[in-house]
């Protein structure tokens, strides 16, 4: 073998070793990168799962009344739909200061028939340790229990006092709010300002009239310590609706002059609660004022409960009364004297529907079966209608009804 041939053979062997080493190194690096990608993907998936928080609540409500007056949707037949619901809520942590919240609620009420509704859908951002802003669809913070309006487990009794909480048909709004938390030595002040609008669809009210609440603005203030909470709230809005109310009568399907045209609505609320180790006392006073045909209403309640281990017996007295009955009476007289027969009938129907006065007395027992499960039983007697139908649609068609009693058994759960 010549020197030249030997040199060529040696060069070929070196090239072969170099290629083999290069190939092995590349395969090792690819395998290493694949392992790193898998680890990162697993970490990312774990991180995303940790950012999601799910919870829910549900109520199974069995109720029946001694007649068909219609208090809280109860009739003289036992019903499991009215008052029953299921809610699901998810919160996603966008980052340490920003969260996205969505709440879906499905109710068994006759008008909704278990159709899921979006009650909350908002983004919240914590600007500082005591300032938070939210934007999206939010709950109207009018009452002490507004944030827990659907969560029966968070309420002492089987339902919130209807005389107070049913005076406002809009429970949510689309817009934004600012919450400012002030920490004092032994107590806390929470200030909240909000603004937005709300479109109430026709299938959300028994009168089947789509209604818009524009220019909603308001504020609420809470002061609380370990046992006592004091609250004040105010809101106003412009109300518009081009649809007359549906009467439910085939001979006269609509009630004339029941539209809104930029009418002003106002709400005032005061509340107080004492929540000790055993004794619970809670009360709210509200006033709603609306221009036009819709009634102005004063309402209030007081609830007292006493915890005995897992059992809490309670009693509630609640009332409501419209303050502008004379206005509707004058409208009826005017329609009878100078209006058409249809206008006179409509004015009479409006007076019958919107002149309201009643008092309710509730006795109940709550049994906390577990940390997330409560069974409740309640009897509510509704009376003192005076010369009205008590604001109950069943009493409109049956004037002889001047009281009603509703019996309820309810199971509330959070999960």
> Residue 368 belongs to a domain with what CATH number?
2.40.160.10
Q: Give the pLDDT confidence of 218-237 residue by residue, as tens digits.
A: 999 999 999 999 999 999 99
Q: Give the pLDDT confidence of 337-392 residue by residue, as tens digits.
A: 987 888 888 988 899 899 999 999 999 999 999 999 999 999 999 999 998 999 99
- Rounded mean pLDDT of the chain? 90
Kindly give the pairing relationship between strand 260-275 and strand 279-290.
antiparallel
319: containing domain: 53-323+356-414
In angstroms, rounded to a whole number, what is the distance separating the alpha carbons of residues 29 and 25?
6
**Is 46 within a domain?**
no
Kindly state the tokens that stand for 318. Answer: 């609640």
**Is 334 within a domain?**
no
387 half-sphere exposure, CB direction, 13 A CA radius:
4
**Is 7 within a domain?**
no
Phi, psi of 272 (to 5 degrees): -150, 145
- Local structure of 86: helix, strand or coil: strand
Beta-carbon count within 10 A of 123 CB: 15
- Beta bridge partners, 212, equal 199, 240
**Is 25 within a domain?**
no
**Is 64 within a domain?**
yes
**Is 61 within a domain?**
yes
Angle at the Cα of 121 from the Cα atoms of 118 and 127, rounded to 5 degrees: 160
Which residues, 6+ apart, have CB-to-CB distance to 167 below 8 Å? 286, 288, 297, 299, 320
**Is 43 within a domain?**
no
Q: Give the pLDDT confidence of 273-325 residue by residue, as tens digits.
A: 999 999 999 999 999 999 989 999 999 999 999 999 999 999 999 999 999 99
**Is 174 within a domain?**
yes
Kindly give the pairing relationship between strand 85-93 and strand 52-65.
antiparallel
Q: Find tokens 């709230």 and name the residue.
A: 233
State the average pLDDT over residues 112-131. Answer: 95
Of 355, 323, 348, 322, nearest to 333 by C-alpha is 348
pLDDT of residue 3: 46
Q: Number of structural domains, the chain? A: 1
Kindly give the pairing relationship between strand 357-370 and strand 373-383.
antiparallel
């Amino acid at each position: 073998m010549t020197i030249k041939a030997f040199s060529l053979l040696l060069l070929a062997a070196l090239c072969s070793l170099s290629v083999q080493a290069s190939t092995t190194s590349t395969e090792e690096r690819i395998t290493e990168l694949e392992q790193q990608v898998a680890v990162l993907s697993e970490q990312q998936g774990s991180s995303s799962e940790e950012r999601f928080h799910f919870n829910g609540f549900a109520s199974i409500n069995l109720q029946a009344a001694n007649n068909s007056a219609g208090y809280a949707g109860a009739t003289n037949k036992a019903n499991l739909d009215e008052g029953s619901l299921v809610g699901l809520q998810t919160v996603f942590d966008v980052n340490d200061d920003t969260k996205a919240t969505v709440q879906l609620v499905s109710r068994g009420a006759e008008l909704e028939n278990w159709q899921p509704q979006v009650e909350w859908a908002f983004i919240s951002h914590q600007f500082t340790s005591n300032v938070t802003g939210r934007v999206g669809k939010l709950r109207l913070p009018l009452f002490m229990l507004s944030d827990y309006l659907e969560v029966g487990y968070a309420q002492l009794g089987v339902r919130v006092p209807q005389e107070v909480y049913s005076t406002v048909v809009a429970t949510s709004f689309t817009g934004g709010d600012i919450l400012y938390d002030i920490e004092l030595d032994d107590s806390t002040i929470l200030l909240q300002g909000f603004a937005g609008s709300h479109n109430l669809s026709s299938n959300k009210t028994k009168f089947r009239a789509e209604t818009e609440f524009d220019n909603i603005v308001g504020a609420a203030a809470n002061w609380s310590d370990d046992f006592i909470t004091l609250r004040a709230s105010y809101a106003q809005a412009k109300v518009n609706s081009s649809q007359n109310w549906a009467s439910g009568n085939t001979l006269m399907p609509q009630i004339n002059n029941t539209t809104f045209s930029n009418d002003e609505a106002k709400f005032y609320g005061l509340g107080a609660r004492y929540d000790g180790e055993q004794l619970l006392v809670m009360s709210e006073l509200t006033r709603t004022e609306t221009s036009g045909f819709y009634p102005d209403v004063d309402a209030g309640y007081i609830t007292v409960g006493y915890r005995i281990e897992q059992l809490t017996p309670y009693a509630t007295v609640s009332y409501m009364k419209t303050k502008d009955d004379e206005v509707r009476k004058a409208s009826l007289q005017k329609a009878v004297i100078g209006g058409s027969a249809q206008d006179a009938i409509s004015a009479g129907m409006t007076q019958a529907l919107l002149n309201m006065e009643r008092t309710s007395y509730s006795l109940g027992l709550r049994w906390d079966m577990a940390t997330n499960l409560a069974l409740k039983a309640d009897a509510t007697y509704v009376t003192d209608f005076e010369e009205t139908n008590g604001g109950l649609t069943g009493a409109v068609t049956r004037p002889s009804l001047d009281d009603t009693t509703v019996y309820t058994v309810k199971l509330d759960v959070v999960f």
